[in-house]
Chains A and B, each alone.
Chain A
């Protein structure tokens, strides 16, 4: 059977390639900024964190559920503090890069008109595993290093809110991530069936 590339598939491949390249560059810039302070005052390191709503004074009629995201500026960070603040970024960056790379490969095969290959089945299963296991793992790493950065032994940025920093080493169960994983595993089986059909058709005279 001759390949049948479609314009939509080629466009998807092009878009994913652009997004992948942007992610590479953005990740490099962000890591460089975290490690060397390239984007702003090199003596200040801005890190995301969350604080308890109890530490925020709000009017009585206001109510916020869950911890509040904030940005904390650490003046004069040490090399160790910069490294600790960079590790979560690296982990998330790697996760997104791998996912985009796999998606791009699948899109490329579709752009070539031949998506039903065994290699795409493997890629889709890996994507599902990334969502199922990679997302909670990255969240755990993020929480662990955030805990470490704001721990008494490491933190030198002045007093913390009375309620502390509301992050921590925790296992996050994300319903959207699980649903995405299930969908990707199902799609992998569809592609596996398609690959078997294609193999039969290719070997049919």
Chain B
């Protein structure tokens, strides 16, 4: 569990579309957390765009479970 909340104004422009991919696959966040091996709280932080970094191992596990590419979950948002 994150000890402190990440900044509300993150210093990056990576958009996270986990909720969209979850909806497309008909999967809940809880189920994804269970299958990926990450806590629901951490995945929620990621889903809401409040994470500062994602481990490649976590990203790999997410893409494996959701059968998608990283680009389906993460996008770079131009200003």
Residues of A within 8 A of B (CB): 1-2, 114, 198-200, 202-205
Chain A CB within 8 A of B58 CB:
yes
Q: How far is the CA of A198 from the CA of B3 in the complex (A)?
A: 9
- Asked if residues A204 and B51 are in contact (CB atoms below 8 Å), the reply is yes
Interface size of B by CB at 8 A reads 17
What are 14 inter-chain pairs, A to B, with CB distance below 8 A? A2-B1, A198-B3, A199-B4, A200-B53, A202-B3, A202-B4, A203-B52, A203-B53, A204-B51, A205-B43, A205-B45, A205-B46, A205-B53, A205-B58
Complex: A203 Cα to B51 Cα, angstroms: 5
Is B42 a contact of A205 with CB atoms below 8 Å?
Answer: yes
- Given A202-B2, A204-B55, output 20 extra A-B contacts at Cβ < 8 Å: A1-B3, A2-B1, A114-B3, A198-B3, A199-B4, A202-B6, A203-B4, A203-B6, A203-B45, A204-B51, A204-B52, A204-B53, A205-B38, A205-B42, A205-B45, A205-B46, A205-B53, A205-B54, A205-B55, A205-B58
